[in-house]
Chain A
Amino acid sequence: MQWETVIGLEIHVQLATDSKIFSGASTAYGANPNTQACAVDLGLPGVLPVLNKDAVRMAAMFGLAVGANVAERSVFDRKNYFYPDSPKGYQISQLEFPIVEHGTLDIVLGDGSRKTIGITRAHLEEDAGKSLHEEFPDSTGIDLNRCGTPLIEIVSEPDMRTAEEAVAYMKKIHSIVRYLGISDGNMQEGSFRCDANVSIRPKGQEEFGTRTETKNLNSFRFVERAINHEVERQIDVLEEGGRIVQETRLYDANKDETRSMRSKEEANDYRYFPDPDLLPVIIEPEFIEELRKQLPELPTEKIIRFKKDYDLSEYDAENLAMSKETAEYFEEVARVSKEKADSKALPKIYKLAANWVLGDLSAALHQDGLEIENSPVSASMLAGLLGRIEDNTISSKIAKEVFQAMWSGEGDVDVIIEAKGLKQITDSGEIEALVEQVVNDNPGQVEQYRSGKDKVFGFFVGQVMKLSKGKANPKQVNDLLKEKLK
């Protein structure tokens, strides 16, 4: 049987507010346990929550960025459950009246095709603390530093059909929250995590199959692997005549498998009710209009502009715009180039810049585990390198050597070319001499070429380049060789 996968994601995003959603304690990551938990976070008797307006602003910004309705009135509810890292015995969340509803997001897949994914809702809530099981034998440590950190939980429609789509959607959300500056999106620190709802159904069937929810996926790779595993597992179960149980599952990255946490029957009754300590959140239309004006350029608009302004391909534009910092780096390269280079040369430089940022630079960053903001080769250094490629001072091949030298901190492009004597040979007399030497040294190959074996031409080019230590201008070598071999 042909199966179709149906995926919906719930993404938890920690908001980058200075203080917590209902208290004045700091949200900074990495402090000693329980040093950033005040009386409100500890759930002491008599304390009351006071809503952080900045969290509301950030959630509303997200809503605007995905074309959603930002509710004029939203309501906080209590989700009641006992757990040691939930000090009040309830989490303050939003159930019936979330702050954001009905958004959409476009994703682009590997084959260049586009798809629109629906966003059902995004609501504000507080994060829980952490239970530390490993450090303490026979007991559990509780760290309440994270307790009360503001979150938005973004719930998608069940619109995704493959793990690839799910990852593309998750990356796009990640990109948007970073663009908006409402989250650092740091997945290792848990600022951005995802639960995946997965079900399968026979292809062509309208109604959904029974779904499972896989919890706490904190990397793009885990999401992809967890979904693929879950799909395989569900297919196996159904094809062996079994039935899928609605349940919560946990992805174990070490074993690379999902396993059951609890079934629907064991699920908690959270006894939600409106939190009487908090008034409904009223957002005036003027506030929304003000926020709309403050919205930064988002990936979708940036892609359109990149294609137009820099004449980039869809693929290049999409990939450059995915990360705000990468896009900023690229635009800085473009800006510096525009100041220095001839305007006729710019289209070629822009194309080169896209290739270098997404290619060599990205690979080097990845290898050294660096973020682009901390690249040893700054945007203006890279612009200098591209200028020297464009004006034929160096070939693309030599450029890679120069780039490595720049990466190791040996200086700017011109310093390195000079020091290493890498300047391209463009003097036609000098090249002609090299060409003549190669032609004279290889009479056999000359014979072959002249008798119609065109492929041998590459051999001559190689020999000349070798003789010039890679510095001869390849175009001139080509032209002169063709003439000599006539």
Chain B
Amino acid sequence: MHELSVSQLVDGLRNGEFSSVELTQCFVDRMQKFNDLNAFITELSERALLQAAHADKLIKDNQHSLLTGVPIAHKDIFCMHGVKTSCGSKMLDNFIAPYDATVVEKLDQAGCVTIGRTNMDEFAMGSSNESSYYGTVKNPWNKDRVPGGSSGGSAAAVAARIAPLATGTDTGGSIRQPAALCGITGLKPTYGRVSRFGMIAYASSLDQGGPFGKSAEDCAYMLQAMAGFDEKDSTSLDKPVPEYTQLLNASLHDSLKGKVIGVPEEYFSEGLSADVKRVIENAIAWYEQQGCEIKSISLPNTKLAIPAYYVIAPAECSSNLSRFDGVRYGYRCDEPQDLRDLYDRSRSEGFGDEVKRRIMIGTYALSAGYYDAYYLKAQQIRRLISEDFKKAFEQVDVILGPTTPEPAFKIGEKTADPVTMYLSDIYTISINLAGVPAMSVPCGFVNDQQSDLPVGMQLIGNYFEEEKLLNFAHQYQLDTDWHKKSPSGFE
């Protein structure tokens, strides 16, 4: 059952081939069996089985919704009523959310059964899941390797077939990079497509929630349930949500022939591993065989994306994380001597190193006398990067390139050098700065030190063209089986 696609799960549930309780039990068993991956911060087995029983009743009464009875795992960044929502931090280890994030609410309404809360980099700051207070998640393809981050727990859970679907958030690549490193499909929607309400903020102008699944089709189902305007989020867009799942089936007849794929030269220059490059070129060749026109394009400001991101995101984070002060909820130091001591020690003891590093960078960048040189400059770069994409999409339908420069690296390999770690997001970060949608799709493997590791290609679309991305990925997945491979030991 754990290898079935979402549409097969939906059909099987409705046709009575299996119940949601059976299905949920299967995944709950796997969650417990593979707990050495450390993919979950909180397991919600009992709660899930109750939810599943309710789902079975709805199905029996013919009152089911899009995903009724289908298990899901939520990244521990989405607030969930009555459930610990830690954001991977000691700071919120004792925090029980008193309300649901809109994404959680919507997926609940769609009928999903939540089996657990997935591990993540602390406050979504990291590219390897090593900054989590709850320890590193292991990559199911090789347990000495990182799953990527920050949504590493969700990606590992889907890759290990512990959950058919999982939520993620992507601020600089936190869905796409772990999807690539774990060999699954992940989509970062257009900024504003999915509500941020109840999603603990890292960098508000960049954060966007999105789906993880085995395939583009699975992601389409989940995005269908997640997306849409939310009056509680002023930055969400009041635009109708297309019928992604139906469009996907309709698009089977919509040939790729004549479509234009842009390949940015900046994504294939130094830093890209030769093995990964070869895998991506194979994927490009597949599209060319389908009749796509492959066009070399330039996104000239790509090299500025990382410096701009590491000003803007820390600046916003320094302000967003000010609320964690030990006064009202969350971690509070023992016996504070006075107010200053309460602030200093609660925050020093409650936050990990990477979070502190970014708070300090952001505080510095916003300080009087530095604001113009850092924050304003970074915003100017951000506009240039958006312009790059706008110009590109005047000529091409989608942009294709690698998601990451190399496959999953070893646990501990990059923790000593934050800048090397930051470079692993080099192809994903500019997409968040521009706000366009992008996804990572499994497209092959590379062998690194006797280990087969998955590679993801990144498909980037114009604003609100998620359905086009899903179609490009879906067509590819109809003809290839990279997305169907599961890591050994997890079959």
Contacts and interface: CB of A to CB of B under 8 A. Distances in A.
Interface stretch (B3-11, B294-302, B316-324, B439-447): B316-324
Nearest to B77: A46
A88 B324 CA distance: 8
A48 B339 contact: no
B197 interface: yes
Would you call the interface of chain B mostly helix, strand, loop, or mixed? loop
Contact of B204 (A82, A271, A276): A276
Interface stretch (A36-44, A198-206, A455-463): A36-44
Contacts of B200: 45-46
A276 B235 contact: yes
A134 interface: no
Contact of B197 (A47, A78, A87, A88): A47
Contacts of A88: 322-323
Interface residues of B, number: 44
B319 A46 contact: no
A317 B204 CA distance: 54
B408 interface: no
A89 interface: yes
A140 B338 CA distance: 10
B34 interface: no
A354 B196 CA distance: 59
A273 B198 contact: no
A46 B322 contact: no
A277 B234 contact: yes
Contacts of A47: 197-198
Nearest to B322: A89
Given A48-B232, A90-B322, A276-B316, A269 B368 contact: yes
Contact of B323 (A89, A142, A269): A89
Interface stretch (B90-98, B126-134, B140-148, B272-280): B90-98
Contact of A45 (B92, B205, B234): B92
A158 interface: no
A34 to B, nearest CB: 10
A271 B235 contact: no
A181 interface: no
Nearest to B321: A89
A88 B329 CA distance: 12
Nearest to A277: B204
B422 interface: no
A273 B322 contact: no
A273 B319 contact: yes
B87 A80 contact: no
A49 interface: yes
A209 interface: no
A50 interface: yes
A48 B98 CA distance: 15
Contacts of A87: 323, 327-328
Given A82-B322, A89-B321, 5 more contacts: A43-B328, A44-B97, A47-B197, A48-B233, A80-B318
Interface of B: 78-79, 85, 87, 92, 95, 97-99, 101, 196-201, 203-205, 231-235, 315-316, 318-319, 321-325, 327-329, 339, 343, 363, 366-368, 371, 375
Interface of A: 39, 42-51, 78, 80, 82, 84, 87-90, 140, 142, 269, 271-273, 276-279
A-B pairs with lowest CB-CB distance, top 3: A89-B322, A271-B366, A276-B205
